[in-house]
Amino acid sequence: MAIQWVLRDPVVASALIGASRPSQLDENLAALDGPAFTTEEIERIDALSDGIDVDLWADSATS
């Protein structure tokens, strides 16, 4: 679901994930192939994530 969300704008061509076991890959791929988001769900996520900022790469990205 988180991967589908990051891909919702086609400017993001791909989501780069790590894995330590094949089963982790399968879980992420299965979620990718699951049901798509509705507009309501996207709006609700927008409302909830407003103000959260977990950017560990901020120094590089905002300098």
Q: Which amino acid is at 50?
A: D
The footprint of another protein on this chain (CB under 8 A) covers a number of residues equal to 42
Spatial distance between the Cα atoms of 48 and 50, rounded to a whole number of angstroms? 6
The residue among 12 and 43 lying less far from another protein, judged by its C-beta, is 12
Contact between 45 and 5 under an 8 Å Cβ cutoff? The reply is yes
**Looking only at residues 4 through 63 of this chain, which bind another protein when binding is defined by CB under 8 A?**
5-7, 9-23, 25-29, 31-33, 45, 49, 52-58, 60-63
Q: What angle do CA 57, 62, 51 make, to 5 degrees?
A: 75
Q: Which residues bind another protein (CB under 8 A)?
A: 1-3, 5-7, 9-23, 25-29, 31-33, 45, 49, 52-58, 60-63
